[in-house]
Amino acid sequence: MSHPALKSRNVAVITGGASGIGLAAAKRFLSLGLRVAIADLPGERLGAAERELGALGVALAVAADISRKDEIVRLETIVRDQLGPVDVLMNNAGIQPGTDVFGPDDVWSAILDTNLLGVIHGTQIFGPGMVARGEPGLIINTGSKQGITTPPGNPAYNVAKAGVKAYTEALQHRLRNTPNCQTSAHLLIPGFVFTGLTANGRVEKPAAAWTPEQTVDFMLESLERGDFYILCPDNDVPRALDEKRILWAAGDIVENRPPLSRWHKDYAGAFERFAKA
């Protein structure tokens, strides 16, 4: 059975819903009979998504900057007034400009405000009402493998997604220990997905990447199993290799290796042997 919150006439809110995984999720939720509100930055992309979704079911598009808490408060009010109380919340909005450990501050702030605080504030604004209603509820927070293995290259993004993982773990612990709570939280951990965020100028999907639709299909299958960690493979990296990478990253602490030893020349051979074992 699917998650009990994913039923006809229920209301879903998806941030970052005008493209990529968010748009694919909106389409799937509409196909299940849900009424869907997407939130994204204002512009033609949001308008095009609203028209596309409106042809599939009851869909509302709200222009909102998720990095601002007052905008999320406004989003909650609009959805409640026009569609009703929320049953499904997908905190999915994210940005990925390049960063360096030494700054600049404005880029770090933009990533943390959107990718981490957007998730926290979205949950804090929508979540208590979902729990208080006593009906089945679903909160999905979009994380990243970069928040678990923290590869070199974009430290601000890694920090934000690591925070999403820690926050969502704490959230689900709280929910499952709340008497009579029927709301559950889940951490979506996409693999390589071809979206506007990852395209980097490419117009054709790389063979290694999944489509957003494949990712959402996997997400729904994982929800049916009751998975908290929705660890998605892709066409290049199977789950077994993801598990090895995650275990190796944890082993840096346990075995007192240098941080990010997977990318350290002195440990390249050791990781290769570990991954094949």
Average pLDDT of the chain to the nearest whole number: 96
Q: Which two tokens stand for residue 148?
A: 């678990």
C-alpha to C-alpha distance for 75 and 78, rounded to whole angstroms: 5
pLDDT at 1: 65
Please write the tens of the pLDDT for every residue from 215-225. 999 999 999 99
Q: Considering only CA atoms, which of 207, 186, 212 is closest in space to residue 197?
A: 212
Q: How confident is the model over 63-77, as a mean pLDDT? A: 98
Residue 212 CA: distances (Å) to CA of 25, 169, 231: 8, 24, 14
Is pTM, for the whole model, over 0.85? yes
Question: What CATH homologous superfamily does 11-236 map to?
Answer: NAD(P)-binding Rossmann-like Domain (3.40.50.720)
92 pLDDT exceeds 80? Answer: yes
Tell me which DSSP letter residue 232 carries.
-
Q: Give percent above pLDDT 70 in the chain.
A: 99
- Per residue in 64-95, is it b (16+ CB within 10 Å) or e — as a string? bbbbebebbebbbebbbeebeebbbbbbbbbb
210 in Cβ contact with 237 (< 8 Å): no
Compute the 3-state secondary structure of the chain and give helix, strand, coil in percent, each to the nearest 5.
50, 15, 35
198 pLDDT exceeds 80? Answer: no
Does the active-site annotation cover 157?
yes
199 pLDDT exceeds 70? Answer: no
Q: Where are the alpha helices (DSSP H) in the chain?
A: 20-31, 44-54, 69-82, 105-111, 117-133, 146-149, 155-176, 212-225, 239-254, 268-276
Please write the tens of the pLDDT for every residue from 135-180. 999 999 999 999 999 999 999 999 999 999 999 999 999 999 999 9
**Range scoring the smallest mean pLDDT among 37-51, 69-83, 115-129, 190-204:** 190-204
Place of tokens 């049916």: 224
Of 157, 167, 229, 267, the active-site residue reads 157
Place of tokens 């998650």: 3
pLDDT at 180: 95
pLDDT band, very low/low/confident/very high, at 203 (cuts 50, 70, 90): confident
Write the burial class of residue 54 (CB in 10 Å: 0-12 exposed, 13-18 middle, 19+ buried).
middle
pLDDT at 230: 98
CA-based torsion, 36, 42, 47, 52: positive or negative: negative
Domain range summary for the chain, segments of one domain joined by +: 11-236, 238-277
C-alpha to C-alpha distance for 15 and 113, rounded to whole angstroms: 14
